[in-house]
Amino acid sequence: MKIDRDAPVGVFDSGIGGLTVAREIMRNLPAEKIVYFGDTARVPYGSKSRETIIGYSRQIIRFLKEQKVKAIVVACNTASAFALEAVQEEFDIPILGVIEAGAKVAAQVTRNKRVGIIGTEGTVGSGIHAEVLKKIDPEITVIGKPCPLFVPLVEEGWTHDPVTVEVASRYLRELQEKDIDTLILGCTHYPLLRSTIGQIMGEGVTLVNPAYETALELGRLLKEQDMQSTGQGQSDFPYRFYVSDLAEKFKGFANSILPFDVEKTQKIDIEKY
């Protein structure tokens, strides 16, 4: 299959969290165009079953393929944990998740081999981070803590609210007691709470942001497969945004965190795919 190097990269998430991945792609791979889909009608994914998430991921990938993307980033830890393997086998397009890149860095930076992972119930319950980390270094101990309220707090825009600080303090207390020195932000919404999480955990704990690491991994993949954009036509069509609901709310949020002015967000019927 002939790949158009200047085709966009598809990025999808259950909502706005994947914008942290899109932001890192914009910063680190500025020549690449992006088509982003946020499944705002069905967020959060963290409490849903594996079968449901695989079904959602299939629909979104079909939509992104219709947009003629050359590669896809599953910018959602829950979908990466539950659906990545299934969709990689099913679709003839390079598909990356967000788990492996972050796990590799956590294994490199931990000094005491005690790594914490925070994420949705689905992601933490899947044990996928522990699996990947133990393949790299069997001596690593992984301590997981689901933080289900973080996604709705971020989606509400309460990233620096006292309520969020109180919730985060309660969730993270358990990890503070377990003597971890590295913490993976195992949900793409969580980098938006990075300053709060960092403050609570203290300077002795390294926070790993898989969004950044995934952008670098995407760059390596595009280079290896000779799919790097030439940068042509970038000004005509840099970034497009689609959602399954609440287009205006999404646009407002995107404008608050992206280094790019989002003029339009289009709502589509994802169930058709």
14 is in an annotated binding site: yes
For residue 74, give every residue at least 6 positions away whose Cβ sits within 8 Å of its Cβ, in sequence order, or none. 12, 57, 80, 83, 84, 87, 95, 96, 97, 98
Answer whether the bond into residue 162 is a cis peptide, omega within 30°: no
Closest CA to 259 of 238, 242, 244: 238
pLDDT in tens, 5-55: 999 999 999 999 999 999 999 999 999 999 999 999 999 898 899 999 999
Pick the CATH number of 99-209 from 3.40.50.150, 3.40.190.10, 3.40.50.1860, 3.30.750.200: 3.40.50.1860
45 is in an annotated binding site: yes
- Domain parsing of the chain, residue ranges: 9-97+212-272, 99-209
Domains 9-97+212-272 and 99-209 share a fold: yes
Query: Which residues are tagged catalytic?
Result: 76, 187
Bridge partners, residue 128, by sequence: none
pLDDT in tens, 210-266: 999 999 999 999 999 999 998 876 666 689 999 999 999 999 999 988 988 888 999
Q: Is 261 helix (H, G, I), strand (E, B) or coil?
A: coil
52 is in an annotated binding site: no
189 is in an annotated binding site: yes
Q: What's the chain's average pLDDT? A: 94
Say yes or no to pLDDT of 117 above 80.
Answer: yes
CATH architecture label of 9-97+212-272 = 3-Layer(aba) Sandwich (3.40)
